[in-house]
Structures are given as C-alpha cells and as structure tokens.
Amino acid sequence: MTSVLVSGASVAGPTTASWLARAGHDVTVVERADSLRDEGQNIDVRGAAREVLRRMGLEETALAHGTGEQGTVFLGEGGRELARFPASSDDTTGPTAELEILRGRLGQLLFDHTEDDVAYRFGDQITALDQDPDGVDVTFASGTQERYDLVVLADGVNSRSRELVLPDAPRRYLGMVIAYLTIPRADDDTDWWRWYVAGRGRGVNLRPDDTGTQRAMLNLMTDVRGIDALDRDAQVTLLRRAFAGAGWQTDRILAELDDAPMYLEDLAQIHLDRWSVGRVVLTGDAAWCATPVSGIGTTLALTGAYTLAACLAAHDDHRAAFADYDARMRPFVEKGQSLPPGTPGLANPQTDLGRKLLGTALKLAASPVATKLGGIAGRFGNPPADEYELPAA
C-alpha cells in the first residue's frame, strides 16, 4: 500500500482519491477551505467524463441532480431574442450539455462517494514539499509534518502548491473576467440560460439551478489584470462601474452585488510541458486549466484524475505511471485548450457592428441546416469531449 496526499477537494481531487483508494492506497485529501466549497455555477460533464462517472456508479445520481437547464438563448439589444439552442440529448454536444450540474453539487457527490475510504482534512494546506528518492516530506500551514509516498496536486488554476514544484507556471490570459453570483429567483425567471450580449465587451447571464435561486454571470472583456486579487468591495465598485447602463436585467444583478455569494475569476489557461516532478504530480485545472469558456474543464478534470489513478495501477514504478499519464492526457488536453479563433472576444463584442455580426452568426448557427451540419461555427458549444479513450481502471 502506498500513502498518497491529494491537495484540493473540488472535482479532480476527490475523483483521484476515489480511484486510488479503490486500488488499495492510503489516501488523505487536504483542502484549504474550512469546508467543501459551494460557490460556482453550472458545469458540463461531457463525453469521456460521463463514462468516468458511470464507472464510479455516479452518473444517474448526477443526472438526477442536474440544474434542469432547458438550453441556451442569446439576447440582443433590448433583450430581443437572437438565437436559441435547446439542451443536447447526448453525452457530448451543445452549449447546454445533457449533464449540467452545479459545481458545488458535483463536489458534494464526489465527497460523499469517497468520505468512508479517504481521510479529508479541511482548513489546511501544503507549505513545503521536500522530496528524496523514497518519499515526500510535507509541511502543512497548521505546522504538521508528514511523509507520503506520492503527492497529487489537484488544487485548481491558482494552485499555490504548484509553485513549490513548478514555480512561475506560464499563464495564458484570455482578457476576460467573470463574476459568478447566486441571486434570488424572480417569478418571471425561466429554466433557460439567458445570455444578454450587452456590448462594450460585456455579457450578462442568468441561469437556472436546482436550489430555487438563479445563477448570474457578469462577463467583462478587459486588459486590466489583477482584478481577481482585489478585495470584494473594490471588485463590486469596478463591476458596478463597468456594467452601469448595460440594460436588460443588469440592474437587478448589480443590486445583489454587496451580499450575494460571489466567485470572481480572471480567465487564464495553464500550459506546462510537464505535469510531474519526482513523486509530485498535478492534475485537473492545476495542471492544465482550459478555462470555463472551453466548456471542457470539468471533463478534463474527471478524465485526468481517473487516468492518473489508472496509470498508477498499471505500473509498479511511479515514473512509468506519470509518463504514461502524460502521454495519454496531453493530446486530449491540447485539443481541449485550443479554443475557436476569437474566443472569448467574439461572443462579448465591443462595438455595435460586432454585436450585429454576432447576432447574424448565432442565427445561422441555430438554423436547421447548420444544426444538421453539426453547427456552422464548427466547435461552437461542442468541445471535443469524446475524443479520448479511457484506460482500463
């Protein structure tokens, strides 16, 4: 039996932990937050990741806990409908996937699934990793020191523990900030993802959930970096200024900014040419964040976590396992990270002309002919989630 420390209890962490525990390893998960985090919105589980949930016996439960989103409707000036894309009815396609679930809900399902087999430690984090050929000495913020055979870093795009082994990981910023909020549901809210194209690089979104609230999203194209590091008051002031007078339901969302649960992200991809250093290995967003606009981040996290555990099961030596994991995942990750040209700026246009062109493109993409051809924009809403074959468990 090997002792493994996993850092991060969202999607990739508990999934890796589950499969490693199932293979007989002694697994501990450390999470920086004091409890499971509930923030975030609808995420898509597509293609190969559906199969991972299936193999964990969780697919039906996840489907039963979906958000009930009926599809995506784009709105233009004055809230006028531009185009409508019903939810897909298969594993892979469409802006609204068949398996849409709140991120916090999926995290909870994965936690519940692993709670009996994995030791969870909340409110702590790794501060130092010292490895020798036989193991890794881990120091935690709490002051505890422990030795593990392997360490898996699954602690997201802003992983601080990654900095301990691969400092200054290159980030590819997309020039876009998203604020995710949970706000009260109004009587006239619908079960569609309503995406209002507000102009001046802004998008205002409302999405249904299965908890009786609405999930709001404010998209802002901006060259200013570091907004995610500002305190909440400064973020609120900035968002109020940027979205003032944007129209449609914007004022309703801005009115909730002071108190609503909020998670703000400055979209950046992580591109690393290696995902392991000795006995420490990365997975999920910490390794290869593709960003939410890829539509495949959670799918990559689930498949990567599963693949890592499968490779460790298939090889006696962790170096061979990590090389195998890299070789299997890298082509899939590269496809997932490669966004359609103009993403995300084209969908959040700055000018009136840009808004008009987007409206025309969306109408064409939603037309029956384009739907038959698989979408005029090619990859629009169709990330390559099924272009991966899972190894045996």
Ligand X SMILES: Cc1cc2nc3c(=O)[nH]c(=O)nc-3n(C[C@H](O)[C@H](O)[C@H](O)COP(=O)(O)OP(=O)(O)OC[C@H]3O[C@@H](n4cnc5c(N)ncnc54)[C@H](O)[C@@H]3O)c2cc1C
Chain residues in the site for ligand X (CB under 6 A): 7-13, 30-33, 37, 39-41, 43, 103, 125, 154-156, 159-161, 180, 263, 284-285, 292, 297-298, 301
User: Smallest distance, Å, CB 261 to ligand X?
Assistant: 10
Which is nearer to ligand X, 330 or 356 (by Cβ)? 330
216 forms beta bridges with 181, 206
User: Smallest distance, Å, CB 369 to ligand X?
Assistant: 30
Which is nearer to ligand X, 48 or 154 (by Cβ)? 154
Q: Residue 239 and residue 242: Cα distance in Å, rounded? A: 5
Which is nearer to ligand X, 227 or 301 (by Cβ)? 301
Which is nearer to ligand X, 76 or 88 (by Cβ)? 88
Nearest CA to 209 among 179, 171, 181?
181
What value does the CA radius of gyration of the chain take, rounded to a whole number of Å? 21
Nearest CA to 292 among 137, 177, 152, 126?
177
Q: Residue 163 and residue 157: Cα distance in Å, rounded? A: 11
User: Smallest distance, Å, CB 93 to ligand X?
Assistant: 17
Contact 321, 311 (CB under 8 A): yes
Q: Residue 292 and residue 265: Cα distance in Å, rounded? A: 10
Which is nearer to ligand X, 10 or 276 (by Cβ)? 10
Tokens found for residue 134: 């036989």
User: Smallest distance, Å, CB 356 to ligand X?
Assistant: 28
User: Smallest distance, Å, CB 371 to ligand X?
Assistant: 24
Nearest CA to 154 among 236, 326, 32, 330?
32
User: Smallest distance, Å, CB 317 to ligand X?
Assistant: 25
Which is nearer to ligand X, 199 or 292 (by Cβ)? 292
Residue 294 DSSP label? G
Nearest CA to 302 among 157, 154, 158?
154
Contact 269, 313 (CB under 8 A): no
Which is nearer to ligand X, 76 or 291 (by Cβ)? 291
User: Smallest distance, Å, CB 42 to ligand X?
Assistant: 7
